[in-house]
A = this chain, B = another copy of it.
Amino acid sequence: MREVRLSLFGFGNVGRALARVLVGKGSIFRERYGLEFKVVSIADTSAVVWLPEGIDLREALMVKENFGMLSSWTNEYEVYSFTPEEAVREIDADVVIDVTNDKNAHTWHLAALRDGKAVATSNKPPLAFHYAELMREAERRDLPYLFEATVMAGTPIITLLREGLKGDTVEMIEAVLNATTTFILSRMESGLDFEGALKEAQALGIAERDPSGDVLGIDAGYKATILHCLAFHPVTFNDAHVKGIVEVTPEDVKRARERGRTLRLVAMVEDGNVRVEPREVPLDGPLAVESHENAAVIKTDLLGELVIKGAGAGLKETASGVVSDIIKAALKV
């Protein structure tokens, strides 16, 4: 049995789902991989809890769920007010896990790598803006830098592109990568206008209070940028052409239906070209996904067309990708 020390940043919905998987499947991971995970720190926006002997995750979940923030924790645990960069430097760990939304997280991802720590992240902006720099640092230090959950939640499109197509040359990827816009466009097919469909999505917790990241296509644009970096060469989100769904009218939706098609926010990724925009897709084709499903069609020189389809959102679905990365990192470090 090998003990692997985890330093967890982010204890919102995804962070807690991850903690629940680590608690619930701990014995399976011990048996399957000979790995014993010990969470030595948990950070939310209020504080960093740090205990080198390992934090009781059940207690951490209880505190967070009852009091809303880790700074309220007042038993034997040490509570600190580190910045993430300070925390990365101070806390001894094997794998740093980022499930935050911190747009500047690349700074402490780099700090973690320079400090000899592997990184597993579901946080997109670091990859969408600093892919080349992060991968260079990881390669130089021969450390895992893993990000399965940044695209299509735990549906393993990243592993597929990184490990599954070594001999193929990717020619194009077309994908539906954002579930919130799929929900809104589906509801517009039932007659709602954009505003009405958005309000319903917000009421159901599918869209956020500030929905701009989803409806302006930024989230899909981040993901498409990451796919381009993997399939072709590093670019940044600034190179992407992104158009959201805010200008889609009920008439557009109706017209698509009349042609046996449906509107989806589609990402198109070709060598040197990242484009996200609402497009009509055939109703019986792979991109006519529903609900929280995402899909990608990958075209390559040898294989032709390959489709991968699965959950693109959800808490345990996202935790699936993060925990897969943690296990991979742990098996290497």
Point out the residue from B29, B154, B305, B308 that lies within 8 Å of A302, measured CB to CB: B154
Residue A160 interfacial (CB < 8 Å): yes
Task: Determine the chain B residues whose CB is within 8 A of the CB of A148 once the complex forms.
Answer: 164
Number of copies: 2
Is A169's CB within 8 Å of the partner chain B? yes
Partner of A324 from the list B33, B156, B164, B307 (CB cut-off 8 Å) is B164
Tell me which residues across on chain B come within 8 A of A319, comparing CB atoms.
167, 302
The A122-152 residues at the B interface (CB cut-off 8 A) are: 148
> Using Cβ atoms and an 8 Å threshold, which residues of chain B touch A153?
303
Q: Among A59-67, A108-116, A188-196, A309-317, which stretch is in contact with chain B?
A: A309-317
Also in contact, A166 and B323, with CB within 8 A (given A155-B303, A303-B154): yes
Please measure, in the bound complex, the distance between the C-alpha atom of A111 and the C-alpha atom of B23, giving whole angstroms. Answer: 43
Answer yes or no: A25 CB below 8 A from chain B CBs.
Answer: yes
**Chain B residues in 8 Å Cβ range of A103:** none
Asked if A53 is an interface residue, CB under 8 A from chain B, the answer is no
- Asked whether A159 is an interface residue with its Cβ less than 8 Å from the other chain, the reply is yes
Q: Are B320 and A310 in contact (CB under 8 A)?
A: no
- In the assembled complex, A286 has its CB within 8 A of some CB on chain B: yes
B-contact bits for A8-37, CB 8 A (1 contact / 0 none): 000000000000010001001100010000
Contacts of A33 in B (CB 8 A): 166
The answer to whether A1 has its CB under 8 Å from any CB of chain B is no
Let me know if A255 is at the binding interface, CB within 8 A: no
Closest chain B residue to A317 by CB distance? B303
Q: A303-B320, A307-B309, A308-B307 are in contact. Are A160 and B156 (CB under 8 A)?
A: yes
A149 to chain B, nearest CB (A): 11
List residues of chain B with CB within 8 A of the CB of A279. Answer: none
Contacts of A305 in B (CB 8 A): 310-311
Task: Return chain B residues, CB-CB under 8 Å to A310.
Answer: 303-307
A156 touching B165, Cβ below 8 Å: yes
Do the beta carbons of B324 and A165 come within 8 Å of each other? Answer: yes
Cα distance A309–B295 when bound, in Å? Answer: 11
Q: A300–B327 Cα gap in the complex (Å)?
A: 17
CA distance A3 to B309 in the complex (A): 38
Q: Is the C-beta of A259 less than 8 angstroms from some C-beta in chain B?
A: no
Q: Note all chain B residues with C-beta closer than 8 A to A316.
A: 302
Interface presence of A163 (CB below 8 A): yes
Q: Bound state CA distance, A316 and B324, in angstroms? A: 31
Cα–Cα distance between A317 and B29 once the two chains are bound (Å): 35
Q: Provide the bound-state CA to CA distance between A326 and B166, in Å.
A: 9
**Within 8 Å of chain B (Cβ to Cβ): is A328?**
yes
- Chain A residues engaging chain B, CB cutoff 8 angstroms: 21, 25, 28-29, 33, 148, 153-156, 159-160, 163-169, 284, 286, 300, 302-311, 314, 316-317, 319-320, 322-324, 326-328
Listed A/B pairs (24) with beta-carbon separation below 8 Å:
A25-B169, A28-B169, A33-B166, A153-B303, A155-B303, A155-B306, A156-B163, A159-B160, A159-B163, A160-B164, A163-B328, A164-B164, A165-B320, A166-B328, A167-B319, A167-B322, A167-B326, A286-B309, A300-B320, A302-B317, A303-B310, A306-B309, A307-B309, A309-B309
